Amino acid sequence: MDDKTYNHNTLKGYNMLFYFAGSMIMHEPSEECIVDFWERGILKNLPVSSLNPNFVMAASQLRASFVDKTTFAKSLHDDFLRLFAKQLPGLALPFESRYSNNKSDKTGNHSSGVTEFYESYGWKSKFKGKIDDDHLGIELLFLTLLIDKYLMLDDEACRGELRNEIRRFIHYHILSWVPKWNNEVQANSNTLSFKGIANLIQACSEDIYVLLGQKSETSISSDLLRN
């Protein structure tokens, strides 16, 4: 496998993890997702590997999270509500505005900064009006779309520009607050599942930020990734 194909597949693997993690913090866990991701053992064979300590911890937590089938679904559902539902207690609400210093606009819209980023790409969330734009699940959805677009480009100049934009988005709208949110999940979650998911989101964001910041796309640092 040549380096370009390897890099392409690695980014696709990270995108798969973002899709999984983003959906798990946006929607109450369903029986289908529990069967697909836990019972069938998909989480035991993640599509990428990383030496990032947060990734190593996430992989360990996710692999150890499924123990008792009879109680797992209820525990996961209850933990989702405790952590991420807007009603009390909401111990780790996944909204950028809760952790950042960004001020709201004149209409009281706390999502204005990230919304402007979306609009600059002509993108509007299909959850608009239901889920705020600064919800981490929405931000991860947008990030996966940018990465998909990047993978489709052939022109190196365009790829370079979009690579910088992806890193800018991660810097200002993911890593600026997700580590604080992750700390709250680690402190308040009753399940290894959501602890693993939170660590996974932070780790994948960190890895992609480093990966796309490399001067050459022809090699991926062995200090960061292994496959």
Q: Where are the beta strands (DSSP E) in the chain?
A: 49-50, 225-226
How far lies 134's CA from each of 79, 110, 141, in Å?
A: 21, 8, 11
**Contact call for residues 139 and 26 (beta carbons, < 8 A):** no
Predicted TM-score (pTM) of this structure: 0.90
Question: If phi over 0 gives left and psi between -120 and 50 gives alpha, with beta otherwise, what is residue 105?
Answer: beta
Q: State pLDDT tens for residues 39-63.
A: 888 888 899 999 999 999 999 999 9
Among 77-86, 113-122, 178-187, top mean pLDDT goes to 178-187
What 3-state class would DSSP assign to 158?
A: helix
Question: pLDDT by residue (tens digit) across 117-140?
Answer: 999 999 999 999 999 999 999 999
How far is Cα 141 from Cα 155, in angstroms, rounded to an integer?
24
